[in-house]
Structure 1
Amino acid sequence: MSIVPLILASSSPRRKELLAGMKLSFRTHPSDEDETVPPGTPPAEMVRMLALRKASSVAAHYSEGIVIGSDTIVVCDDEIMGKPADEPDACRMLARLSGRAHQVYTGVAIVEAGGGRSRSAHSHAEGDGNAVYLGDIGQYRILAQSPSGHPEVMVGHTVSKVMFRHMSDEEIEAYVKTGEPLDKAGSYGVQGLGAVFIEKIEGDFYSIMGLPINMLYQMLQAVGINPFQAK
């Protein structure tokens, strides 16, 4: 039996590290899709939309394979924080997060390349399928499937709560100077030096890193990929 290629639509070192930890063979093919969304889009819908957009755009390059797309944002009050534009922007974000709680939303999508019936679902992050809930952390649903019932497009999201301790201006500036915050949503890395500022996490640590492993595992099982059966 041939092995279906697994493709990660991301260049993120954190996502590559997490997927590699599942002991699955995969290749990376970063998406260059536009990441703008309509103003007022709710955070959960936004990360689902962008994860699906990334996976779909990469899937278009292949005749077969399972493509994984993901997107992460930080939300503090009503401000949505992606990656900082520069060091001053990173300092501004961290000052906003200092001493407060915020939410981290991560979307993940799976698209089967070459799935004819999946094309119409590729641009929509919502669907009529029944949601599969992972406690109160997140959910995913099937957006399109083959005539035999095999899932071709799935998308979901998680939300976690992170509490930061108070950070001095000197700490913020020193942390930003390390360069760690500059490629991360919200300007911090939960798995790196940014961890020293975190007082409490409610939710999924791996989602905060950028890839909800528990949810992804269940979604991959639905399309016939199981790390415990991988060669």
Structure 2
Amino acid sequence: MILASKSPRRKEILEGFGFKLEILTSSIEEVSDEEGLLEQIMDISRKKSLEISKIKKESYVLSADTVVVLDGHILGKPKDEDEAFYMLNSLSARQHKVLTAYTIMNSQKGIDFTSYDSTEVCFKELTEEEIRWYISTGEPMDKAGAYGIQGKGAVLIKKIEGDFFNVMGFPISKFYDDLKQLNLSIDELNKTVEVERC
């Protein structure tokens, strides 16, 4: 299976559950003309798969897009430590949502499926000192919402409702259920198709 993502966390989750992956990242601009937030991330996820699937028609291609949403606004990756502080301070003692859209596609077999999962995350009330400490670890700087639940950021979390792996970057349980609905198995996705080239 081709993973159209350079996220080390997605790769780690999928390989941990037995998927054999080839990494081919998409170069699309991550923008969408769709109106709703959920529709936008589903559209972006599908575009990522579509770009790779056009050149790898015989392969299963998986893509995803994860966003952290607070009060209807997306919190992306912080540009600097000041923005990381602002994000973490905004999340303090608040509940927010993590949305991941994902697409599994195989052009040759006519498979084009996009879905999503949503997890509610509640932060503890954080002191300025705790936020500064967390930023000093460097962990927030490459993560949406400026935190990683699977790392040192775990100490900031009061509770979650939903899939832990979704917050980490990929909702493996929902994806597994969807594969069953599509009559696909991990073994099937791990098959590599050798195409003769002339």
For the aligned pair, the TM-score class normalised by the smaller chain equals 0.7 to 0.9
- Whichever residue aligns with residue 17 of structure 2, its letter is M
Deviations, residues 146-200 of structure 1 (Å, cap 9, x unaligned): 4xxxxx1000111111000111122212212222111111111011111100001
Structure 1 residue 101: Cα displacement: 0.6
**Superimposed CA distance per residue, residues 178-226 of structure 1 (whole angstroms, 9 cap, x where no aligned partner):** 2211111111101111110000101111111111111221333425333
**Is contact 2:78-2:146 (8 Å) kept?**
yes
One-letter amino acid matched to 1:52: R
> Which of residues 183, 186, 197 is equivalent to 1:226?
186
1:122 paired residue number: none
Kindly indicate whether residue 56 of structure 2 is the aligned counterpart of residue 62 of structure 1: yes
Scaled by the length of structure 2, the TM-score of the pair is 0.88
Q: TM-score of the superposition, structure 1-length normalised? A: 0.76
Q: Deviations over 1:24-82 (max 9, x none)?
A: 211111122111234x8323212211211111112222131011011111111122112
Q: What corresponds to 1:78 in structure 2?
A: 72
Match of 2:24 in 1: 29
Q: Could you say which structure has the higher helix fraction? A: 2
Deviates more, 1:173-182 or 1:11-20: 173-182
Q: How many residues align?
A: 190
CA contact (8 A) 1:104 1:162 kept: yes
| Equivalent in the alignment of 1:141 | none
Stretches of structure 2 that go unaligned for 5 or more consecutive residues are 192-198
1:214 aligns with 2:144: no
Are residues 1:202 and 2:161 paired?
Answer: yes
Structure 1 consecutive aligned stretches of length 4 or more whose deviation exceeds 4 Å:
227-231
Paired with 1:171 and 1:25, the residues of 2 have a C-alpha distance of 39
SS, match of residue 35 in structure 2? coil
Give % identity: 39
Instruction: Work out whether 1:161 is the aligned partner of 2:120.
Output: yes
The answer to whether the aligner puts 1:13 opposite 2:8 as a matched pair is yes
CA gap 1:27/1:166 in 2 versus in 1, 3 angstroms: same
Compared CA separation, residues 182 and 114, structure 1 to 2 (3 A) = farther
**Cα distance between partner residues in 2 of 1:84 and 1:214:** 28
What 5-or-longer segments of structure 1 have no aligned partner? 1-5, 116-145, 147-151
CA distance in 1, matches of 2:4, 2:190: 21
Judge conservation of contact 2:19–2:189 (CA < 8 Å) in 1. no
Whether contact under 8 Å (1:75, 1:103) holds in the other structure is yes
Q: Report the Cα distance in structure 2 between the residues aligned to 1:228 and 1:41, rounded to whole angstroms.
A: 35
Q: Does the CA-based 8 Å contact 1:52-1:155 persist in structure 2? A: yes
Q: Report how far residue 114 of structure 1 moved.
A: 4.1
